Structure 1
């Protein structure tokens, strides 16, 4: 009897098992709201008008951003199905998308006073991507004194499956008893990160091949160098019905006694964003005298934040600080296994009821990336009475986390202004010894590219924006000088590397290269003269451009900085000039789609399946050592967009697509709404023209 644990990265999600399959419909009723809201609100600004127009476009069933299930909407990752990034299809969805769905409806509630759509979004999230009782059935067997069996990680997918290692002492889980005592349940209240919305893989509920959708699935499982191109999609509920003799567990964990099991992984940045948005909804509804309208959803956000503390702890609850050697690094007791940062994940699982012996496990996350930190969520959970968790120590932990996150960003800020990768308590996922001279932060080791190596997780400018936008909002709300100091260096660097032209032309940073490392953290920022960053490419990522605009608007509102306001408004105007029938979008050339048919050990590294593994996907696609990304996703061959990919694989040009990612559209929409909230019609060029 042993738990086949998730060894790295994400896992995936499904729905709270309904009594009968949800009815799938591709259309639903929606009445446009822009005209009525504008008519009822004479003070509405031109940017807010554009928000409402984009809101109607996103909610229009003809646009294709949502699928409806029994009266609830589930957002797709993108309108287009053929798109490969973290999700391997556009008609999957993520906890990230649900958090943005909440944000869209919160911004609408501020303008309209109608909070039913926000509450409906929370209900959809709770129904479909927070595992329910039927999805996590054996939590009562969880032992907080022995939370999980240790499994070492490897950087390379080709080293998997990795062995269960019973001789390594793990620490004690200090949250389980407190949470079960507070909420009267042993279940976890957190989102799983990935859903197969259309059940295209066919796993259904708990791998039973039913039509139930959305279905909980997972992809990433095998080390930092496992890109999406090297993943094998598998059900979060493993019944051995598909894959090989033990389902798909033999690809990941060497466990000869593997049991039928369930397992989920939380992406903490998404849950934190949901909390952040619930805080905004509470503030806006309360200003309207309507706080009671969102009280239940806000209370659930506080509960989610309570469980989100699992991301503050080392993966195996070992002591945080100078933790080297799986056998020698001491197991934690109490909170000494907490780093108080938002890690890349936390995860939980257990045996299905069919197993001979019930068991359950939980793990935290040892590695923290700067892009996942959310000081606004920490502020809300520690300072906003409506969001303070009910548990005895939840608010206190989040207060500690708020300070620790700000320190973390100060420590990671380069001499140029950009924020470097992150830190880990478990070098290379196995508590290995880091290179000599590696700098430290509260005993954590500096990690240039935490968790992701293909592509490097410190490369994408988007993680800069997502994190620093929250710092800018926090600074505007609180005036915290620590946040202001971070922004005073980051904002000029971002503006210097951003250009806004005419007729919708703009360029923002895309990829970055890093040199050096930060100084050891002693409690006071040093300016890190030995750490630098260079922007090596630019692009027109509409979602990140909108996030950058929001960051600059928050900063301008707090400081009066004219360059930040001018650049932020310039980006908004440029984005609006790139509107099409479905939203805001620009064409993208996808040279990486050459990896669709990469065999293992190709130049890029293709899909690895051990020679002794042979299995099948639910539709009959063979999974073996000859498999490629596309061969186990044969549904793509019927996608009309695949013709461009096939031509590229035959030597043609790299395909070009115009994608409409849900989160990107919401980032643009909420940026438009934010301008109206912070600046009204100040310096409105249309009004100035009317006066002239």
Structure 2
């Protein structure tokens, strides 16, 4: 059985930045006007609009019989619209005239085909669409080659309006259709249809709204069946009237003032007087104006400003809570925190980003009994490694720790870091009830061998009892050291909102985040081809044997639990605690981390399972499942960070059994040399087991060697190595180079898309190397960075801190490294090319940190300037919820059925029939979407549906994604600059 574990944000559509397009434009000239040959139509659609700006998609259709070569679209804005950036075309504007030229990768439009591009722009007043277009100078006739979808906007209620339970929420919408008529408008709350109106003015009165926050939308349908959903409007329904204060947290520089706004939630029957006073905290903070506020029946919903002053007394920064109260109304509180008068702009940027992430209204977390669980993203319709935004990963928890560790460094307050670790232990580290039969585990027989299959139609894969497996050399010392047979490591994936409905062990409850899994069918299995399933298999859902028949071929199944650890996340948690210990000691607050460092060292002790071959077989030249021998002692250790380790067992404690596996494949992006350094050389983080620190000392050297071996001549780090070719100890291709007998694999672990194409893996790894170099000056780390950094800078453009920055997106690889003999050869036969570029904000932030740590250690001025340029470019994209750039996902695989020739689509074995908890049918012919029908209730679905119905003429919707890991990466990048350069 393959227990693959994937971290997030690894599968995304390319969104070329305008700057990247502009660089291409500098190398080409537009073709001559071809007015006589061009027959075309243009569809111009505003996809999102927010009062001062908008995004639009433009589709160009070739109506003629000849290709349109070197296409260039032109139009004139009727208003003051000003384009700020574009994608999939080189967009330029002079006055009101706009020209959009083809990108280098798509210069022609074939007869009968379309091409699309988009842009973001600002405006004031009205946003009237252009009236006419040209292509290569020729007027385009026909307008839209197909039906134009209707336009719709929710005009009432106002955003963030408040209502009382029992009070009617009156909804209204405007809708129109340029080439037909509006058939109806549906009104919905949280994706559930409330009612329909077939005549204008379109209205609906919602009379039974429950207390809580609700997202309202209107969907217009035209006479041809096309539909458009409005931008959502969020409202609050309250049990009692209250006072509203925003923002909930305010930062004020020492000696200066800051403001927040106060209004009433609902219209009062008479005048209401509210008072504002400090209710707790530092007396250095006080109300300087707005201590008494008067609200009437006419101004109740207009925010009145309260000004808070910070005393200029040179003391340590403090904080205070201010309470806004009024008779008959629920009170509101605002936390005001001082920032040091000497704080840098980047330190302030960190605190501002921190407050946005932690603000409950932002939607990055869900709270359970006072503990916060981070979502993968605010937005829910997202398919990356998680297939829903309100899942979460161990990666997200490690970033949560990182956010709070930096907060402790900046503020001296370490309590939030304790809270983050407590949440991790409570929700994503399985507890005793989650792994009840570990005592039955036999280290001499750790697991039954199941070969991985090259394609998904090779599954289910049969257990092979006759294949020799090795001995687990660390289980006994771990149980002896910690007095338990339980494993202390994070499972990789949680369904935070129980969207799938698996519940805890199949009980369907929503009391806590639910352990779940997806990938389990070899390296060909893409996220688009997974069947999600619970980590606790009780046969409640799926088929007669739950979901097991999809993966393993067995004659007898038992109810069971199983968990998969993503080693990069646990290693990042250790990395975070290394820095937290350093910073707390510098503050004289080392005692603040009592207990946490011991827990981090314990996690590192169990993380050693990632150092071993999957079935504890001997490392090196391991060919043939039966021929390759099971190892004794630590002959099965490759000492690298492999892709996963996993453990499981029976749920029936009266018939207990348990198993554990490591992983044979190691990816460069998972290595963490700083964690290995900390666990082997920092006394507070050395594991308590007899051999833990020694193993990590070997791993420290082995990981650095691994990166030296994989470094391409240009500088990039190639994929990795495996001890089990194809996951079945198969014979690898002839002439393949090796590392300690393990075979080079340019795309280890998963191949759809190739696992080492994403540039993010480069910066995640090199950031750790740069931190190690900055801390220790290790010459091996320095040599790796001396080649990698110039290569990365060469392919990065910061636009001098402007909005149109670019970083590498996807890479391609050729050749292979030289077989490792202990010394780097420079790998003249191994090469990397940058395939394309993006404005991925998380990757840009991680790259900035890498460059800044390297610059501090080496004094390299170019690295520092580029890192600072990226930080400034990120600030240019600040918004209310964080820092984002437009994202245009590819949804084309949502409805793919299994194709045996291409080996693509969702594969369900013949004869299997089952259901998801919501009743979605799992059987041959199913698709990604058909077993996730809840996605059709997502606010984004109507736009995706329209695109899937007519992909040539309706572009995929463009969204602003707020991924948790990326927002934390940005916050910590700002804080890192202050840490390194003051």
Interval of TM-score (by shorter of Structure 1 and Structure 2): over 0.9
CA distance, structure 2, for counterparts of residue 551 and residue 210 of structure 1 = 43
**Residues 561-600 of structure 1 aligned to structure 2 (within 5 Å):** 561-591=860-890, 593-600=891-898
**Residues 377-392 of structure 1 aligned to structure 2 (within 5 Å):** 377-392=675-690
Deviation at 1:295, TM superposition (A): 1.8
SS of residue paired to 1:596: coil
* Match of residue 177, structure 1, among 476, 481, 500: 476
| Structure-2 residue corresponding to 1:657 | 959
Q: Deviations over 1:18-53 (max 9, x none)?
A: xxxxxx9989x9952633667352331110000000
Q: Check conservation: 1:25, 1:69, Cα contact below 8 A.
A: no
CA distance, structure 2, for counterparts of residue 610 and residue 326 of structure 1 = 25
Q: Check conservation: 1:196, 1:213, Cα contact below 8 A.
A: no
Q: Check conservation: 2:567, 2:644, Cα contact below 8 A.
A: yes
Q: Deviations over 1:453-490 (max 9, x none)?
A: 00101100000000001000000100000000000000
| Structure-1 residue corresponding to 2:358 | 59
**Residues 147-158 of structure 1 aligned to structure 2 (within 5 Å):** 147-158=446-457
SS of residue paired to 1:626: coil
| Structure-2 residue corresponding to 1:419 | 717
TM-score by length of 2: 0.66
CA distance, structure 2, for counterparts of residue 359 and residue 599 of structure 1 = 37
SS of residue paired to 2:360: coil
| Structure-1 residue corresponding to 2:910 | 611
| Structure-2 residue corresponding to 1:282 | 581
Deviation at 1:168, TM superposition (A): 0.3
Which of the two has greater strand per residue?
2
CA distance, structure 1, for counterparts of residue 783 and residue 395 of structure 2 = 29
**Residues 625-644 of structure 1 aligned to structure 2 (within 5 Å):** 625-644=924-943
Deviation at 1:357, TM superposition (A): 2.8
SS of residue paired to 1:34: strand
Structure 1 position 376 matched with structure 2 position 678? no
Q: Check conservation: 1:11, 1:264, Cα contact below 8 A.
A: no
CA distance, structure 1, for counterparts of residue 798 and residue 903 of structure 2 = 35
**Residues 152-301 of structure 1 aligned to structure 2 (within 5 Å):** 152-301=451-600
* Match of residue 813, structure 2, among 511, 514, 517: 514
SS of residue paired to 2:446: coil
Structure 1 position 674 matched with structure 2 position 969? no
Q: Deviations over 1:276-332 (max 9, x none)?
A: 001111111111111111121111000000000000000000000111110010111
CA distance, structure 1, for counterparts of residue 661 and residue 903 of structure 2 = 31
Q: Deviations over 1:554-584 (max 9, x none)?
A: 0100111011011000000000100111100
CA distance, structure 1, for counterparts of residue 903 and residue 863 of structure 2 = 40
Deviation at 1:589, TM superposition (A): 1.2
SS of residue paired to 1:68: strand
| Structure-1 residue corresponding to 2:756 | 458
**Structure of higher CA gyration radius:** 2
SS of residue paired to 1:210: coil
Structure 1 position 339 matched with structure 2 position 641? no
* Stretch deviating more after TM superposition (616-625 or 30-39): 30-39
| Structure-1 residue corresponding to 2:611 | 312
Deviation at 1:10, TM superposition (A): 5.4
CA distance, structure 2, for counterparts of residue 10 and residue 667 of structure 1 = 18
Q: Deviations over 1:206-232 (max 9, x none)?
A: 122122320000000001010000001
Q: Check conservation: 2:5, 2:492, Cα contact below 8 A.
A: no
Q: Deviations over 1:351-401 (max 9, x none)?
A: 1116x6311000001000000000010011011111000000000100100
* Match of residue 441, structure 1, among 714, 719, 739: 739
CA distance, structure 2, for counterparts of residue 10 and residue 192 of structure 1 = 11
Which of the two has greater helix per residue?
1
Deviation at 1:6, TM superposition (A): 4.0
| Structure-2 residue corresponding to 1:327 | 626
SS of residue paired to 1:386: helix
* Match of residue 403, structure 1, among 701, 713, 721: 701
Q: Deviations over 1:492-548 (max 9, x none)?
A: 000001111153110100011100000000000000000000001000000010000
Q: Deviations over 1:411-447 (max 9, x none)?
A: 0000000000000000000000100000000111001
Q: Check conservation: 1:11, 1:218, Cα contact below 8 A.
A: no
Q: Deviations over 1:636-684 (max 9, x none)?
A: 111110112111210221221110000000000000000001111xxxx
Q: May I ask how many residue pairs the two structures share in their alignment?
A: 663
CA distance, structure 2, for counterparts of residue 448 and residue 111 of structure 1 = 40
**Residues 92-107 of structure 1 aligned to structure 2 (within 5 Å):** 92-107=391-406
Gap runs ≥5 in structure 1: 13-23, 681-692
CA distance, structure 2, for counterparts of residue 25 and residue 258 of structure 1 = 44
Structure 1 position 84 matched with structure 2 position 383? yes
SS of residue paired to 2:634: helix
Q: Deviations over 1:34-81 (max 9, x none)?
A: 336673523311100000001000000110000000000000000000
CA distance, structure 1, for counterparts of residue 863 and residue 975 of structure 2 = 17
Q: Check conservation: 2:4, 2:564, Cα contact below 8 A.
A: no
CA distance, structure 2, for counterparts of residue 629 and residue 98 of structure 1 = 27
Q: Check conservation: 1:421, 1:449, Cα contact below 8 A.
A: yes
Gap runs ≥5 in structure 2: 9-210, 214-235, 237-244, 253-316, 319-336
Deviation at 1:9, TM superposition (A): 4.0
* Match of residue 409, structure 2, among 110, 119, 128: 110
| Structure-2 residue corresponding to 1:362 | 660
| Structure-2 residue corresponding to 1:684 | none
Q: Check conservation: 2:6, 2:385, Cα contact below 8 A.
A: no
Q: Deviations over 1:73-109 (max 9, x none)?
A: 0000000001100000000000000000000000000
Select the structure with the greater relative contact order (CA < 8 A; seq sep ≥ 6).
1
Q: Check conservation: 1:264, 1:349, Cα contact below 8 A.
A: yes
CA distance, structure 2, for counterparts of residue 158 and residue 654 of structure 1 = 31
| Structure-1 residue corresponding to 2:858 | 559
- For the aligned residues, what is the CA RMSD? 1.8
Q: Check conservation: 2:2, 2:522, Cα contact below 8 A.
A: no
Q: Check conservation: 1:7, 1:153, Cα contact below 8 A.
A: no
| Structure-2 residue corresponding to 1:353 | 652
Structure 1 position 34 matched with structure 2 position 262? no
CA distance, structure 2, for counterparts of residue 259 and residue 309 of structure 1 = 29
CA distance, structure 1, for counterparts of residue 946 and residue 702 of structure 2 = 50
CA distance, structure 2, for counterparts of residue 40 and residue 666 of structure 1 = 20
| Structure-2 residue corresponding to 1:476 | 774
* Stretch deviating more after TM superposition (204-213 or 249-258): 204-213
| Structure-1 residue corresponding to 2:797 | 499
**Residues 121-140 of structure 1 aligned to structure 2 (within 5 Å):** 121-140=420-439
Q: Check conservation: 2:2, 2:452, Cα contact below 8 A.
A: no
* Stretch deviating more after TM superposition (40-49 or 538-547): 40-49
CA distance, structure 2, for counterparts of residue 589 and residue 341 of structure 1 = 36
